[in-house]
Chain A
Amino acid sequence: MAADMRAIQPESLYKLHLECEERPDGRKLDAARATVVTRGGITTADGSAFCRSGHTSVLCGIKAEVCTPATDAPPDRGWVVPNLELPALCHHRFRPGPPSEAAQTASAQLLQLLDASGALDRTQLCIEAGQAVWVLYCDLICLSHDCNVLDVALLALSAALTDLRLPSAEWDATEERLRVKPAERTPLKLGPLPLAATLAVFDKETLVLDPAGDEEMLCEASVTVAWAGDSMVLLDKTGGCELSLEAMDRCIALSKKRSLELKKLLDCCTQSGEVEKDE
C-alpha cells in the first residue's frame, strides 16, 4: 500500500513520515547516512579516493601533470582543475551525452570551494617560477546517484587530496629541462579542507539532513553549507520557499555538526588503502 501511495501521492506519504519524525529509510530527521571513505584505490592515479554515502558514491582520481604557466597568470602558482562527471550509469534519468548543466555547475562549485577554503596553497605546486608548475587534474565520477552528490564529491576530493603524492621534480637551469623522479613522492601540505552538508526544507520549518531518495525532489527548498575548519566557506539556499532566520540558524548548527563528523572521518587515518567508516 505504501508503494502505491508513493507512486500516486509521494508528498502526502512523505508528510506522514515527517509527522512521525522518521524518514522512509528509518533515519531520524537530523541523522545523515552511513559514510565510507576509501583512499588510494586507483594505482594509476597519483591520488585517489572513493566515497560512499548511502547509495550515492563518487570516485575521485587525481593525476598531476607539468605545464608552463601562462604569461598572464602568476608565474609561481600551479593549477587545480576539478571536474565532476554524472555519467548515464549513475542514474536512469541521465542520458549519454555532453556534460549536463548539473555536472558543470558542480565542477565550478568544487573549484570555488577549494579556493575559498584556502586548503591548498598554489605556490606549493610551483616547481620553477615561470618555467614549470604542477597541474592537478581532479576527475570525479559519480558511480551511483541518490541525492547529495555535491557533498559526497567534495568529501571524495578532499580525501583524494590527502592521498595525493607528488613525484619530486627539479628544474635543471643549465639544460633548461625538468628532471622528475617518479619513485620519490611527497604529500601536499594542506590547510583545513572544505566539507559540506545539505539540508532539505519542508513546510518552511522542518529541516532534514542529508536528503536521499525522493527527498531532494519533494523538498521546498534546500540549504547547503560548507565548512573549512571553523570558517564557513559556502552558504547556498535554493528553492522557492522563504526561510526564517531561526530556521537558518538551525541549518548552520546542524551542518557544522555534520562537518565535524566528516572531518573526524577524514582524519581517522593517513595510510592509503584503509577504510574509514562512520555509522
Chain B
Amino acid sequence: MELLSDQGLRVDGRRAHELRNVECRLGVFGRADGSAYLEQGNTRVLATVYGPHEARAAQRRHDVASINCQYRQAVFSGWERGRRAGGGGDRRAQELGALLQNTLESVVLVELYPRSQIDVYVQVLQADGGTYATCVNAATLALIDAGVALRDYVCACSASVLRDQPLVDLNSLETSGAPELTAALLPRSGRLPLLEMSQRFHVDKLGELLDVAETACRDVHTILNRAVRRHVSARSSEK
C-alpha cells in the first residue's frame, strides 16, 4: 500500500498539507474544574483539569503553582491490546506525562497561583497517530475551560517527510512508515515549547519540516480558537 500516491493523495484521501477532521467539545464533565474532548481523525483524547487547588506538602512551591500531568492510554485504544497500566502507566506514559508538564509550564501563568497545584489528566480513548499532539491540544482546551490563566494557546501537530514531500497530521499507518516529528507552537509569539522526534532523519530536511509543522500548528490554532469562542458564547447566552 502506498502512503502517498502519484497524484499526491494519502491513504485516507487527504493532500499532504491537510489536517484530519477535528471535533472538539469543552466542558464535557460537570464535576471536573475543566474538561475537553478532542478528536483528530480517529484519534480521540479526553483531558480533565482539577485545580488550582491546595498543593500537597511535597509539591508545594511558595512562589508558583506546580503542574502535575498524567498521560494514560486506554488498554483498548490501539490496534493491539495494550499492556495494562500498573501504577499509572509504563515508562512511555510517564515520559509523555513529564513532557506534557514541561510544555504546559511554558504557558500557564504559574506566578498567579502560588502554593497551589493544577492537575492535568489526559486519557487516550482511541489512538490512530498524532496521539501526543492531540493530547497537548486537548490539555490546552481543558485548561481554558477550567479558567486557568494562560499566556497563549499551545497548538501541536505531527509532521513528517516522505519521499521529499512534507506531510502533516499523520495517522498510525503513516507513523509506521515515516519518521514523525511532533511540534507545539505558541501562536502569538511564534515560539516552540515542544519538539519531539525519535527516529532517524536527515538534517537537511529539518528546516522545511519545521516550516510545514508551524503552518499546521497555526491551522490547529484557528480551529481550537473557533471552538473556544463558540463554547464561551453558548455558555454566556445560557445565562
Contact = CB atoms under 8 A, between A and B. Distances in A.
A61 B74 contact: yes
Interface string A83-121: 101011111100011100000000000000000000000
A44 interface: yes
Nearest to A138: B76
B31 interface: yes
Nearest to A81: B84
Contacts of A85: 85
A55 B128 CA distance: 28
A161 to B, nearest CB: 14
A246 to B, nearest CB: 35
5 contacts: A43-B126, A55-B30, A55-B31, A97-B88, A144-B29
Grouping DSSP codes into helix (H, G, I), strand (E, B) and loop, the B interface class, with mixed when no group exceeds half, is loop
Contacts of B46: 89, 143
Nearest 8 pairs of A and B residues by beta carbon:
A61-B76, A89-B121, A45-B76, A89-B48, A144-B29, A139-B75, A96-B88, A63-B81
B3 interface: no
Interface of A: 42-45, 48, 55, 57, 59, 61-63, 65, 83, 85, 87-92, 96-98, 137, 139, 141, 143-146
Contact of A62 (B42, B53, B76): B76
Contacts of B197: none
Interface of B: 29-32, 42, 44, 46, 48, 50, 53, 70, 72, 74-79, 81, 84-88, 119, 121, 123, 125-128
Contact of A88 (B53, B77, B119): B119
Contacts of A45: 76
Contact of B125 (A42, A65, A88, A91): A42
